[in-house]
Amino acid sequence: MLVIVFLLVIVYLLAIMPKMFNRKNFYPFENFYYAHRGLHNNNSDAPENSIKAFKLAVEHNYGIELDVRLTRDRVPVVFHDNSLNRACGVDKLVSEVNFDELSKYRLFNSTETIPSFEEVLKIIDGKVPLIVELKNTNNIGLLCETITPILDKYKGMYCIESFNPLIVKWYKEHRPHIIRGQLSSNFIKEGIKNDRLLNFLMQNLMLNFISKPDFIAFNYKYRNMFSFILCRKLFRIPTFAYTIDSKKAMEESRDSFDYFIFEGFNPHYKNF
């Protein structure tokens, strides 16, 4: 019985083990807070994932976290949701709409529109480091093969991250020099509608053996989950907190994370 327990522990540790050797240099990402979807306020003229929000983040010298997905005509755009409903009040999926149509919709009743990924990169222009989240898709190859040539030409500092370990694995195989991160959370408590076993494996980082991430980006509310603590304390992998929503939450998370992705407040000012 002890032998079986020992073997199970070994298998578990091997499953959650991130990349251990020839680790990347995180120095360019240090000393920055990261504005989630830009320095945004959805009740202002600078809503999430808008050009105005990214310009504000650059002006305040914040790093930026943003989301990328493909339109119907395979144009990479910066937009979070699958659906246009929440942000634009349109009952369509991003993947069902060509970019020309998509670019006409307004974000959260502002004058801002949905930008292309290339447009955003030109605005940021290497002024601050960038965290690029690749949104999940049924065609991982198409997503990665479309976005990667654009990033290959970008001169600024960036890393990629995804909830899907197969996307992180794609970058491990095709762009091994790029820093890549595994996103995770307590999917079961969050009520994410995936296969329950898959949710269990992903929230406990037990698919790290597939993706071999350079860092873990974890929902700060669940920072006490055992697998996350082991990755940080035992394997000493760099960790990003998302999405810190107050100075209190940031201070309470200081000992659990190395880098912080925030929204809803300005870490350098009392009011935002």
Give ∠ CA 233-234-235 in degrees, rounded to 5: 100
In the chain, what are the domain boundaries?
52-149, 157-266
Tens-binned pLDDT, residue by residue, of the chain (272 aa): 888 999 999 999 999 999 999 999 999 999 999 999 999 999 999 999 999 999 999 999 999 999 999 999 999 999 999 999 999 999 999 999 999 999 999 999 999 999 999 999 999 999 999 999 999 888 999 999 999 999 999 999 999 999 999 999 999 999 999 999 999 999 999 988 888 999 999 999 999 999 999 999 999 999 999 999 999 999 999 999 999 999 999 999 999 999 999 999 989 864 44
* CATH for 52-149, options being 3.20.20.190, 3.90.230.10, 3.60.15.10, 1.10.1740.10: 3.20.20.190
Which CATH number is correct for 157-266, 3.30.450.20, 3.20.20.140, 3.10.310.10, 3.20.20.190? 3.20.20.190
Tokens 């873990």 sit at which residue? 216
SS3 category, 109? coil
Q: Answer yes or no: same fold for 52-149 and 157-266.
A: yes
Query: DSSP strand E in the chain: where?
Result: 33-36, 63-70, 76-78, 130-134, 158-162, 180-184, 215-219, 239-244, 259-262
Burial of 113 (0-12, 13-18, 19+ CB in 10 A): middle
